[in-house]
Structure 1
């Protein structure tokens, strides 16, 4: 399948009247594979850029450029100030994603004009447009599938050679194209980056907290065979809920609380923007932590269930550890990690940042949760 797809796409691209094509690289397998595939067809008429939005992980722009230096020359464009001006202060998940898309493509359209290009290469894959059209969450790299005419709005035509593929298929294609294993096996990172992992109101301080926690979690859980593992951060503001506490009373000496922030989930085939439940207390046994969502995740307004690992009396923010396994990213299972490992990670996060009041582990599969929170 991969070889025939490569040949078909190469022939299709060569038949197009392309003066110059711009590829926006994130460092993930989707955008890299799409760019390498198109470069095979048009050679140096492909220009690749990495846009530093200011929502990247520590050292990410330089790391991506180095990783791809042998197969794809990349120019790093620093646009962080523009994204900050437009997005700091936003609190609604969809508003963040939509605003990010507008700024992202405005920046890209300027680069396209500066380079004299007329096409944009994107690594859009099937789950991106399926979730966007289904109203679950807006993926920033979905345009034509929801009726946005890129040519008239932004001044370029779109090339999306992976748009009918799923993540596992893209990885197989990348291997055929000689994409480095470090890219193929690199865990996905959302286009809006840490802006949607700083859940709720977007601030520079919250971005800094999630960036630090992300580094610790990614390093500690690397090499464990997970599909995605990361940190999310929001204000540690909760209210007790007696009804939810009674629902889980058989699993230990537990109490349930509702966070003030809300998060995205999936109910049926539709998007749900609902409550995040915090469970704290003593479990009858550790394996019961993975049963919490069965009791609470079926409740209509609940989209995520998080078990509190450690807390202290000071600090402003809550850090949620998220770790899942999946084949196609349409569904995902929670990684069953040892309690001791999670406690060690939680303690390291607390020791590293005195702004963190508590750390927990998200125990909700997809569905009813989405992998990300926004």
Structure 2
């Protein structure tokens, strides 16, 4: 049985032995993985040896950088590095999921490298966990924090070595370590937030108005669903343009020009999202559709629509222990309709609200 206190004791000894007297940089996102890794290193090394930064990429949730700094102020000091313009310049207009992730990774580590040089750091602490490198090396999708496992020589490319104290752990174990370290419960129980943030929930082409709409809708969805305690829950957005009709009963289409990531067998799939326009057998229908159209990676069921607007807003909520597999949280339609009504009122560019009913596999939890 996993003992978080024994793990902490062992890792502190390892970190001190590995790092010696060299300086260390830690980049946190406010998620439980990166924050736990940074807190563990901070406990091992202290403020004279480690500097903790939060890189604002422009793809964060509303008020996130300041919230993270405030909630962790009694644990470790955090410095916000605003690199949002740099990320936006390179990513606006990009649409392919893997291309977006790889561009993000390159910019992120260039910024980290610059900050490490300023501090004189030769080590970078990051919260890579077992699902991250398993998905990346398995070819399902590129996690931005998986580097050495892909054969990338980070010392040669960016000038630092990696310190990944959580690389053998799964999410439930990371949360246990977070609590044993005394991190605030808001962090220890916080749902995962991907390293590239809203970038991978802005499905397809990245556009400024689309990102702004997603950020507003994300606040609404997270507030409305938090009391249900899903393992992960969020909003995603894409262009509302229906393509080929693939079923009559219930009426089902694929979105034109929209692709999302899935898992077929042990391999990555990148295919269409199917829309069921009727709330009929919502939590069983995905099997029928994916059997009929094997290239479909996600199935969403319509909650509500209005006449105007450019985008579909998808709500996703899952239950999982290890994030390698996940079940869909079955939510009453009345609550989803309530959420849709508020989204329509506050985010005019949203035309349609849907609920993703696809487990993992065959879908991934995130769309990109």
| TM > 0.5 | yes
**Map of 1:39-54 to 2, 5 A cutoff?**
39-44=42-47, 45-54=49-58
Q: Which runs of 5+ in 1 are unaligned?
A: none
Q: Which residue of 2 aligns with 1:339?
A: 333
Deviation at 1:221, TM superposition (A): 0.4
Q: Which residue of 2 aligns with 1:292?
A: 285
**Aligned partners of 2:279 and 2:302 also within 8 Å:** no
Deviation at 1:144, TM superposition (A): 0.2
Query: 1:48, 1:281 → 2: CA distance?
Result: 49
**Map of 1:139-288 to 2, 5 A cutoff?**
139-241=143-245, 244-246=246-248, 249=249, 254-260=250-256, 261-281=258-278, 283=280, 288=281
Aligned residue pair count: 362
Segments of 4+ moved more than 6 angstroms: none
Deviation at 1:297, TM superposition (A): 2.7
**Aligned partners of 2:279 and 2:303 also within 8 Å:** no
**Aligned partners of 1:56 and 1:193 also within 8 Å:** yes
Query: 2:254, 2:194 → 1: CA distance?
Result: 26
In the alignment, which of 301, 309, 315 is matched to residue 315 of structure 1?
Answer: 309
Q: Which residue of 1 aligns with 2:93?
A: 89
Query: SS of the residue aligned with 2:270?
Result: strand
**Aligned partners of 2:240 and 2:255 also within 8 Å:** yes
Query: SS of the residue aligned with 1:6?
Result: helix
Query: SS of the residue aligned with 1:47?
Result: strand
Query: 1:61, 1:107 → 2: CA distance?
Result: 16
Query: 1:31, 1:239 → 2: CA distance?
Result: 40
**Aligned partners of 1:303 and 1:368 also within 8 Å:** yes
Q: Which residue of 2 aligns with 1:19?
A: 22
**Aligned partners of 1:109 and 1:156 also within 8 Å:** yes
Query: 2:320, 2:21 → 1: CA distance?
Result: 37
Deviations 1:141-195 (A, max 9, x none): 0000010011000000100000010000111111111111110111110111111
**Aligned partners of 2:129 and 2:167 also within 8 Å:** yes
Question: What is the TM-score when the length of structure 2 is the normalising length?
Answer: 0.97
Deviation at 1:229, TM superposition (A): 0.9
Instruction: Report the more deviating stretch, 17-26 or 116-125.
Output: 17-26
Q: Which runs of 5+ in 2 are unaligned?
A: none
Q: Which residue of 1 aligns with 2:12?
A: 10
Query: SS of the residue aligned with 2:312?
Result: strand
Query: 2:26, 2:247 → 1: CA distance?
Result: 50
Q: Which residue of 1 aligns with 2:362?
A: 368
**Aligned partners of 2:272 and 2:296 also within 8 Å:** yes
Query: 2:17, 2:366 → 1: CA distance?
Result: 39
In the alignment, which of 65, 74, 80 is matched to residue 78 of structure 2?
Answer: 74
Query: SS of the residue aligned with 1:10?
Result: helix
Deviation at 1:240, TM superposition (A): 3.8
Query: SS of the residue aligned with 1:373?
Result: coil
Do the aligned partners of residues 95 and 18 (structure 1) sit closer, same or farther apart at CA in structure 2, a change above 3 Å counting?
farther
In the alignment, which of 131, 134, 158 is matched to residue 130 of structure 1?
Answer: 134
Query: 1:349, 1:40 → 2: CA distance?
Result: 42
**Aligned partners of 1:236 and 1:357 also within 8 Å:** yes
Query: 2:323, 2:352 → 1: CA distance?
Result: 28
**Aligned partners of 1:297 and 1:364 also within 8 Å:** no
Query: SS of the residue aligned with 2:294?
Result: coil
Q: Which residue of 2 aligns with 1:330?
A: 324
**Aligned partners of 1:10 and 1:41 also within 8 Å:** yes
CA-based RMSD: 1.0
Deviation at 1:207, TM superposition (A): 0.4
**Aligned partners of 1:18 and 1:119 also within 8 Å:** no
Deviation at 1:39, TM superposition (A): 1.3
Deviation at 1:196, TM superposition (A): 1.1
**Aligned partners of 2:263 and 2:297 also within 8 Å:** yes
